[in-house]
Amino acid sequence: MSGQVRVAVLGCGAIGSLYAAHLARLPGVEVWAVDPWREHVDAVNEHGLRVTGRADFVAPVRALPDAGGLPPCELGIVATKAAHTADAVAAARAALGDAGVVSLQNGLGNEEVVAGVLPRVMRGTIVTAGTVTEPGVVRYDAPGDSWIGPFEPAPARAGEIALLARLLTDGGLVTHAVADARGPQWTKVVFNAATSPLAALTGLTVGQVCTDAGLREQVDRLVAEALAVCAAAGIALTRDPGESVAEAIREAYHHKPSMLQDVRARRPTEIGVLNGGIAAEGRRAGVPTPAHDAMVALVRGLERSWTGS
């Protein structure tokens, strides 16, 4: 690789931290991370960003509590919660105005928000998992490939997509540059939307949800509705959702999805971009999604129960 590549990572939670660290370990790559958690930012600047678990290294990431000091970058990664996308991207507009920017967020609709501010956008899908265990330290829990491709209404350049995929792969996170990234994205969304809200509503792990007879009926119903939406929208999944369910039971039985973690912490969930995203696409395609609509109503009702609104 010739020359220096500067990458901005917006959101330095578990995923943002993992991707920032793996990129920053490469020679010739300068990584800047933005996150409002001041203790995490200070620890990263003082000691580097440490990765534990399935990898063990420390990477030289430059961290900021806001995007005001972010320099111009060639590439950008958005890894915030969906609710924070608009503010994070708007704050980084000056630094990312001539960058290819990928969303590595959960759900559907984040790319539209990014493209409302920035001109060249990529769809991104990951199955990597991790946890920030203390300021400056992220545990790499589960490996998995990533896929990035152009966001059709405002696509990043092919060279930008290829470069980011190569850098992530060289850094240790296998990433595929694809012409149509909707398939990988929807493959993940269909599974998450069929399991995460049920886990959030019951307090059960993904494996428990998928092996409970009554809840498994609801998982299968949610999957079937989502598949009908995909068929109407011309989206081809890269994997049978049944295989994802079987793998979750076998390899991630005790996994607590982020929506369950948000509910336990009484934080706003991402129900709107998961089940709400499928329901919105269903309306556009003329496909009814009553089960997904019910999940949105139930989880939002749960959220209101602790906010009093």
Residues 84-114: tens digit of each pLDDT? 999 999 999 999 999 999 999 999 999 999 9
What domains can you pick out in the chain, each with its CATH number? 5-177 (3.40.50.720), 182-307 (1.10.1040.10)
Q: Give the pLDDT of residue 309.
A: 64
- Could you tell me the two tokens for 105? 């967020």
CB 184 within 8 A of CB 125: yes
Amino acid (1-letter code) at residue 64: L
Question: Using one digit for the tens of pLDDT, what is the confidence trace for 19-74?
Answer: 999 999 999 999 999 999 999 999 999 999 999 999 999 999 999 999 999 999 99
CB 99 within 8 A of CB 71: no
Question: Using one digit for the tens of pLDDT, what is the confidence trace for 176-186?
Answer: 999 999 999 99
Q: In the predicted model, is pLDDT for residue 1 greater than 70?
A: no
Q: SS3 sequence, the chain?
A: CCCCEEEEEECCCHHHHHHHHHHHCCCCEEEEEECCCHHHHHHHHHHCEEEEECCCEEECCEEECCHHHCCCCCEEEECCCHHHHHHHHHHCHHHHCCCEEEECCCCCCHHHHHHCCCCCEEEEEECCEEEEEECCEEEEEECCCEEEEECCCCECCHHHHHHHHHHHHHHCCCEEECCCCHHHHHHHHHHHHHHHHHHHHHCCCHHHHHHCHHHHHHHHHHHHHHHHHHHHHCCCCCCCHHHHHHHHHHHCCCCCCHHHHHHHCCCCCCCCCCHHHHHHHHHHHCCCCHHHHHHHHHHHHHHHHHHCC
Confidence of residue 3 (pLDDT cuts 50, 70, 90): low
User: Among residues 69, 68, 85, 74, which one has the least CA distance to residue 16?
Assistant: 85
Q: What's the gap between Cα 249 and its chain centre?
A: 22
Question: Using one digit for the tens of pLDDT, what is the confidence trace for 124-180?
Answer: 999 888 889 999 999 998 888 999 999 999 999 999 999 999 999 999 999 999 999
Phi, psi of 247 (to 5 degrees): -65, -40
- State the Cα–Cα distance between residues 6 and 28, nearest whole angstrom: 9
Contacts of 87 (CB under 8 A, 6+ apart): none
Confidence of residue 274 (pLDDT cuts 50, 70, 90): very high
Q: Tokens 């991790």, residue?
A: 130
Q: In the predicted model, is pLDDT for residue 2 greater than 60?
A: no
Question: Using one digit for the tens of pLDDT, what is the confidence trace for 235-246?
Answer: 999 999 999 999
Question: Using one digit for the tens of pLDDT, what is the confidence trace for 77-86?
Answer: 999 999 999 9
